[in-house]
Amino acid sequence: MLRGFAEGIHADVRAVRAATLLPWNNGPIEGQINRFEMITRQMYGRANFDLLRARVLHAA
């Protein structure tokens, strides 16, 4: 398992170096995607009432 992880890092060493050395990140984009996926799950009824209630209470 650890060997596979190390091989994956070694295979894409340029991307790993860029991620650790450059000041840019995609955190804001990931947050928007997470928000969109949560809303989509709620639209399709996969989220239960407790999650919807918590979201409404924390939004105020």
Chain segment 14-39, per-residue pLDDT in tens: 998 988 898 988 888 888 888 888 87
Q: Tell me, what's the pLDDT at 33?
A: 87
pTM of the model: 0.42
- For residues 9 and 2, what is the distance between their CA atoms, to the nearest angstrom? 11
Alpha helices (H) along the chain: 2-11, 13-21, 27-43, 49-59
